[in-house]
Amino acid sequence: MPDGRTLEVHLTNWAGTAADAPVVVDHHGTPGCGRPSSITAAAAARHGVRLVGPTRPGYAGSTPQPGRDVAAVAADVAAVLDQLGVGRAAVMGGSGGGPHALATAAGLPGRIAAAATLASVGPYGAAGLDFLAGMGQDNLDEFGAALAGEPQLRAYLEAQRPGLVGVDAEQIAQALHSLLPPVDRAAVTGVLAADVAESFTSALAPGIEGWLDDDLAFARPWGFALADLAVPVSIWQGGADLMVPAAHGAWLADRIPGATAHLLPLEGHVSIVVGRIDEILAALVSAL
């Protein structure tokens, strides 16, 4: 990075792909790293999309950036695209990556053609959004710690980390039991469960700093205005989601100019990606 930090970036479907193939920046969830799931990678290959997966500061091999806000991600994405020689891209983000996808689109006008959020969290403290309502107990505990301040959040995340580092595919659903409705429990199996477990282990191998800074950033102003978004934005949210309840998606769709809402009552936090990633990528490619 221009400021001397190192940013881990995962490039998917670049080898053997045309130099003018569409590029989609994919922001990972919280906690997580830039390596996409096998499902997302396969969909990118089907659509001829080159994925760029930046790992946010503090996770895996990315240098921590204490005090970062959500908006800070735009400068990192610009630096990555510059190094790759990419002038124009689309962006998407799931869960904790959703606000970062919106920040990228707002912060890089003229360079980002379209954005999509998948089960994105909304801003804390925003009028008209009961942030915690409908969340599973683990998220209530985590955000409660974040709102109490950094020392309390640090203690909470340090206690949670051992249960996620080294977790295997068979254990992942149990580790997230309070956050998975039946539709998500059915989705978090096999290869996808292994991908989630690997992402957690990689992300948290160096410690909790990325997770900590994500949570603190979500509990503060994001650093940009949703009204500044001037590209097509699609909001994908499941009605059965216990990690990020449906009200978050509805709130975002109502406040982003011209947003297209896909509020799907039977989908959860994970199942929406499994079932809809092809539609999401097709829409983003059509904007490029």
pLDDT band (50, 70, 90) for residue 168: confident
| Tens digit of each residue's pLDDT (9 = 90 or more) over 98-155 | 999 999 999 999 999 999 999 999 999 999 999 999 999 999 999 999 999 999 999 9
How are beta strands 50-54 and 89-94 bridged, if at all?
unpaired
Report the pLDDT value the prediction gives residue 189, as an integer from 0 to 100.
87
- Given a contact cutoff of 8 angstroms between Cβ atoms, the answer to whether 35 and 63 are in contact is no
β-bridge mates for residue 53, sequence order: 10
Report the pLDDT value the prediction gives residue 162, as an integer from 0 to 100.
93
Report the pLDDT value the prediction gives residue 240, as an integer from 0 to 100.
95
More confident call, 187 vs 92 = 92
Domains of the chain, CATH where assigned: 9-286 (3.40.50.1820)
Query: pTM for the full model?
Result: 0.96
* d(C-alpha 40, C-alpha 276), whole Å: 10
Q: Is 24 exposed, middle or buried (0-12, 13-18, 19+ CB in 10 A)?
A: buried
* d(C-alpha 250, C-alpha 252), whole Å: 6
The count of other CB atoms within 10 Å of the CB of residue 267 is: 27
| Closest to 33 (Cα-Cα) out of 212, 209, 198 | 198
* d(C-alpha 215, C-alpha 218), whole Å: 5
Q: How many residues does the chain have?
A: 288
